[in-house]
Amino acid sequence: MSNTTTETELPPAPDDNAAERLSTAPVESDGPVGIGMFGWARWMWRQLTSMRVALILLFLLSLAAIPGSLIPQNGQNQFKVQTWKAQHTAVAPIYEKLQLFDVYSSVWFSAIYILLFISLAGCIIPRTWQFVGVLRSQPPAAPRNLTRMPVHAAWRTSADADAVNAAAHRLLRKRGFRAHLSGGAVSAEKGYLREVGNLVFHLSLFALLGGFAWASLASGTGGKLMVEGEGYSNTITQLDDFTGTRFYTSDNLDPFYVKLDSFKARFQSSGSQIGAAREFTANVQYAEGSDTSKLKQGKIEVNHPLEIGGSKVYLGGHGFAPIITVRNGKGDIVYRGATPFLPQDANETSTGVVKVSDYGVGPDGNKTQLGLSGFFLPTAPASFENTGPISLFPDDAAPMLVLNAYAGDLGTDSGLPQNIYQLNMRKMTQLTQDGKPAIVRLKPGEGWTLPDNYGTVTFEGYKRWVSLNISHRPGNEIALAGGVLAILGLIGSLFIQRRRIWVRAVALPGGGTQVELAGLARSESAKIAEELAELAVDLQDDAPAAEDEEDPGTDVPEEAGAPTAPEASSDPAVPADQNSKE
């Protein structure tokens, strides 16, 4: 009878498992739920939306992106892809079948990408709703036996039990806890930003992937090589190359005009880092839209693009363009212009060709074409005997043009595309002079009389050229914001501690009040013990220990071992740790 009376006087036992659960993450299932196809489908969905599978997919996505950075991609530079295929004829067909030249649009990369999207969505949505439910509900009621919790404290006082509970409720709210007083005990919880950071991290990953997806579907890149003094309109006919996507084609190019006024390059001229780049600046004039009557001044520097409309103009490569004039045997000018030469090393040793397809009739009375190939050396050595045609410094300290001359058929009338930086030598013959191949070294202002009355070549000077990369990527801002928020969310989920504190003051039959405090943290941390000790000290101002008790400072709080999962017990007062997925 006494047992029955005691049980009726005690408050109802709360769900200790629910009290200890500090995460809103869904509990994983060990295997298929139910039977048949529906049960297997539910089990597969739970596996796909688990954090473990999401991390595996994220790791696979990182691995899948490696070939895209090592192997040339069609979407970035088709010329490099063709060159790579020509150099690796054995494995090129295999790579083609595996879609390694189009990694980011391949079937297998897209499959990983889509599965990761689904996994994140399936993980975020239920966690968000569960977290909203946690915020709307009261903190879990205090377990029956607080002294069995990992961190606890207890003492007796002469203060009234209701007054102690009210004081504890007031102190916990003052410390930023979400506190609730009911059933003769105070339940308080703090650290909700940990779960907020967790959700922000997952949502940010979703935004990051969404930004990349949008950029891959609605972005485009173009390239344009410009010599000083030249300008171009951003149209498909004036771009050197263009790569579009499904939702961004040549019809969607942002209309603008850019003119290159000058290009400045500065290199270190002394010390251990001689020749190192110090400044690259392209001074341009530009106008948005089709109206070029009002031009604006602008600069394009490395990592500082010029933003025009929805596109950004980046500074790519640079080099020199010798100004060459070619006259035929009759003295007529058949070619004049600044011809870009491509740098081959860090000192700007550059190679290039001049194709004179309208040369006219040659000395033999037949229609012919002329080709010149050679090197431009910004800083030429005094002698080529030991080094060959090579530049000693990347700036124009001692410029020199080295040329070879060829006559014959360039193949420009065949209708087949050609590389403008190479000569088709199949039907060309090198001119000779004194029984040796015709070759000359020219300084600015010097000329060369070609052998066999083929005319003259004059090196009038040189200009600089730059290659501009025009990029339209609308998803970059979304991806950047997602990356920043992901870092902030990760910091919050790692450094903010989710913790709970319970306080119960119960009137004793013989007089006085028994005060019990307990705390529980998600991870092993001394912060919960420190907070409980501070709360106990503050609470003793309203509920001082009885005079016949020991100094409460010696046993406040007491740690009952490390906060690991205790052994199972049939006693409902023993808290049972419940694993949950963060």
Cα–Cα distance measured from residue 63 to residue 108, given in angstroms and rounded to the nearest whole number? 12
DSSP string, 105-122: GSHHHHHHHHHHHHHHHH
- Count other Cβ atoms within 10 Å, centred on residue 297: 9
Cα–Cα distance measured from residue 195 to residue 184, given in angstroms and rounded to the nearest whole number? 29
The model's pLDDT over 427-464, given as tens digits with 9 standing for 90+, comes to 899 999 888 899 999 999 999 999 999 999 999 999 99
pLDDT beyond 60 at 549: no
pLDDT beyond 70 at 32: no
Ramachandran area for residue 434 (φ above 0: left; ψ -120 to 50: alpha; else beta): left
Looking at residue 236, what is its pLDDT? 92
Looking at residue 19, what is its pLDDT? 53
143-191+497-582: CATH topology? TATA-Binding Protein (3.30.310)
Phi, psi dihedrals of residue 245, rounded to the nearest 5°: -135, -175
Q: Of 46-60, 545-559, 568-582, where does the model show the most confidence?
A: 46-60
Q: What is the DSSP letter of 304?
A: B
Phi, psi dihedrals of residue 225, rounded to the nearest 5°: -95, 125
Q: What is the DSSP letter of 50?
A: S
- Residue-level length of the chain: 582
Range 32-60 average pLDDT: 80
Looking at residue 378, what is its pLDDT? 95
If we measure between CA atoms, which residue out of 133, 141, 152 comes closest to residue 19? 141
Percent of the chain with pLDDT over 70: 86
Task: Pull the structure tokens for residue 423.
Answer: 């000569």
Cα–Cα distance measured from residue 520 to residue 190, given in angstroms and rounded to the nearest whole number? 11
Task: Pull the structure tokens for residue 571.
Answer: 């006693």
Looking at residue 34, what is its pLDDT? 53
Task: Pull the structure tokens for residue 217.
Answer: 């579907």
Looking at residue 351, what is its pLDDT? 94
How would you write 427-445 as a 3-class SS string?
HEEECEECCEECEEEECCC
Cα–Cα distance measured from residue 204 to residue 50, given in angstroms and rounded to the nearest whole number? 17
Mean pLDDT estimate for the chain: 83
Look at residue 517 and give its three-state secondary structure: strand
Burial class (CB in 10 A: 0-12, 13-18, 19+), 345: exposed
Assign 507 a pLDDT band (cuts: 50, 70, 90). Answer: very high
pLDDT beyond 80 at 525: no
Phi, psi dihedrals of residue 419, rounded to the nearest 5°: -80, 120
Check: CB of residue 152 under 8 Å from CB of residue 78: no
Helix runs in 366-439, H state only: none
Cα–Cα distance measured from residue 561 to residue 574, given in angstroms and rounded to the nearest whole number? 14
The model's pLDDT over 172-230, given as tens digits with 9 standing for 90+, comes to 999 999 999 988 999 999 888 888 888 888 888 888 878 888 887 888 888 999 999 99
Helices 161-174 & 527-539, crossing angle to 10 degrees? 130
C-alpha torsion 171→174→179→185, nearest 10: 10
Q: Is the dihedral of CA 548, 550, 556, 560 positive or negative?
A: negative
Task: Pull the structure tokens for residue 357.
Answer: 């397809």
Check: CB of residue 341 under 8 Å from CB of residue 322: yes
Cα–Cα distance measured from residue 204 to residue 482, given in angstroms and rounded to the nearest whole number? 4
Looking at residue 309, what is its pLDDT? 86
The model's pLDDT over 277-303, given as tens digits with 9 standing for 90+, comes to 899 999 999 999 878 888 999 999 998
pLDDT beyond 60 at 573: no
Buried b vs exposed e over 459-486: b needs ≥16 C-beta within 10 Å? beebbbbbbbebebbebbebbeebeebb
**Which residues have a Cβ under 8 Å from the Cβ of 170 and sit 6 or more positions away?**
none
User: Out of 2-16, 286-300, 308-322, 522-536, which region has the weakest mean confidence (pLDDT)?
Assistant: 2-16
Sequence ranges of the domains in the chain? 143-191+497-582, 217-318+470-483, 321-462
pLDDT beyond 90 at 518: yes
If we measure between CA atoms, which residue out of 267, 266, 263 comes closest to residue 300? 263
Q: Of 65-69, 345-349, 528-532, 542-546, where does the model show the most confidence?
A: 345-349
The model's pLDDT over 234-279, given as tens digits with 9 standing for 90+, comes to 999 999 888 888 888 889 999 999 999 999 999 998 888 898 889 9
Looking at residue 102, what is its pLDDT? 85
Q: Is it true that the peptide bond before 557 is cis, omega within 30 degrees of 0?
A: yes
Site of tokens 């490569």: 317
The model's pLDDT over 381-412, given as tens digits with 9 standing for 90+, comes to 988 877 789 999 999 999 999 999 999 999 88
Check: CB of residue 228 under 8 Å from CB of residue 340: no
The model's pLDDT over 458-494, given as tens digits with 9 standing for 90+, comes to 999 999 999 999 999 888 788 888 889 989 988 888 8
pLDDT beyond 50 at 3: no
Task: Pull the structure tokens for residue 233.
Answer: 């309109």
Buried b vs exposed e over 223-253: b needs ≥16 C-beta within 10 Å? bbbbbbeebbebeeeebeebbbbeebeeeeb
pLDDT beyond 50 at 550: no
Looking at residue 20, what is its pLDDT? 53
Cα–Cα distance measured from residue 394 to residue 347, given in angstroms and rounded to the nearest whole number? 4
pLDDT beyond 60 at 570: no
Higher pLDDT, 74 or 509: 509
